[in-house]
Amino acid sequence: MTETYLKRAQPRPAEEQQALTERVAGMLDQIAATGEAAVADFARALDGWDGEIVLSRAELDRAAARVPDQLRDDIRFAHQNIRRFAEAQRSTLNDMQVELMPGMWAGQKQIPVTAAGCYVPGGRYTHISSALMTVTTARVAGVSQVVAASPPRQGAGIPDAVLYAMDLAGADTILALGGVQAVAAMAGGLFGTRPADVLAGPGNAFVAEAKRQLFGAHGIDMFAGPTDVLIVADSSADADTVAWDLISQAEHGPDSPVWLVTDDRALAEAVLRRAPELAAQLPEVNAAAARTAWDERAEVILCAGRDEMAAVADRYAPEHLHVQARDLDWWLGRLRVYGALFLGAETTVAFGDKAAGPNHVLPTSGAARYTGGLSVQKFIKTVTWQRCDTRGMVPLAEATARISRLEGMAGHATAAELRLKKGTVPAQ
């Protein structure tokens, strides 16, 4: 590798994680011990929320009526794209069976989980799209009960547009809860819900840690860290477009890494100049987050050519990988490690984040090396079955018994040999 770093990210302190882990563990223990009372206490203390936790049908209808017509249309537009993409995914998951040898059949079934908990983040932004991405996907997968939770704003509750999106997407129950208490309530089946088999949705470090600690007893979509983007660009790219695409992702928060990989020094230097200037043009709260992310988490890497650029991109395993370069088909065929791929300057991560259709809940912190993003598959179990008659039973029993004896597993061998002696499967 001959890549040159024109800008490097600052190292992050490791000691913060230990304090977070201990704090979340204590909260989960309290909620496990006292249930809804502890959840309500945390809601008052952390969210400043003393209202009803379970949203009624009347409250949802009033919230929908307050959403402006154009915004309702936009939310429906995004929901339609997300639902159609999820339905297309679902159509690729099929039951099947095969006769592996005479008298022996095996197959698989696609079975949705019974209950899902979908977290919709709050904080500085109103995350309408996260409500659509999680709830819609679980519903299309065939989950029987979908619970959604989102942080209420002090004195105001969950924003109307988020409530409308969760309801439109098909949430059975909506909880005015944020953070650890929301995740724990959905996992524990509190407030009249079923315990969630799968917990999904992005969130802050507390939400991510709660999901991590609950994993095992419950499924989760993935371990999540701060959102990131890597842009691969050659001399055909426009510096302002590249810089805006980096800054738009950096506005998520000060810990969001953004990376530029290019073989054109002039482009790299132009982006290095423009990105801070563009960040300053954002509203104050956005500008502060984007500028800190750019100053502390951004990297600009200069490579010798496209093969090296692709190798660097694969090594970083970005959540979002955006190619703004010539010969897009070559990049589509070559790149292998990413959560979601965006090809060409005509698209942008912002489209994927909000309305395009493919899911925006994606692997971060290098997890794209081994997993993709949220999909209907996360809410569906692929299970197998098998059966055989006497034609298939005999060779299976003989091979199983010999292998089991060699392994020293006498019980397994006996169970197989019993079938040979009886000549049929024992009566139930």
Q: Which of the residues are catalytic?
A: 319-320
In angstroms, the CA 254 to CA 405 distance is: 60
User: How far is CA 332 from each of CA 28, 92, 304, rounded to the nearest angstrom?
Assistant: 43, 21, 20
Q: What residues are paired with 72 via a beta bridge?
A: none
Give the number of C-alpha atoms closer than 13 A to the C-alpha of residue 13, restricted to the C-beta side: 6
**Amino acid letter, residue 135:** V
Q: Judge contact between 54 and 148, C-beta under 8 A.
A: no
**Amino acid letter, residue 326:** R
Q: Judge contact between 175 and 55, C-beta under 8 A.
A: yes
Per-residue 3-state assignment (H helix, E strand, C coil) for the chain: CCCEEEECCCCCCCHHHHHHHHHHHHHHHHHHHHCHHHHHHHHHHHHCCCCCCECCHHHHHHHHHHCCHHHHHHHHHHHHHHHHHHHHHHHCCCCEEEEEECCEEEEEEEEECCEEEEECCCCCCCCHHHHHHHHHHHHHHCCCEEEEEECCECCCECCHHHHHHHHHHCCCEEEECCHHHHHHHHHHCCCCCCCCCEEECCCCHHHHHHHHHHECCEEECCCCCCCCEEEEECCCCCHHHHHHHHHHHHCCCCCCCEEEEECCHHHHHHHHHHHHHHHCCCCHHHHHHHHHHHHHHCEEEECCCHHHHHHHHHHHCCCEEEEECCCHHHHHHHCCCCCEEEECCCCCHHHHHHCCCCCCCCCCCCHHHCCCCCCHHHHEEEEEEEEECHHHHHHHHHHHHHHHHHHCCHHHHHHHHHHHHHCCCCCC
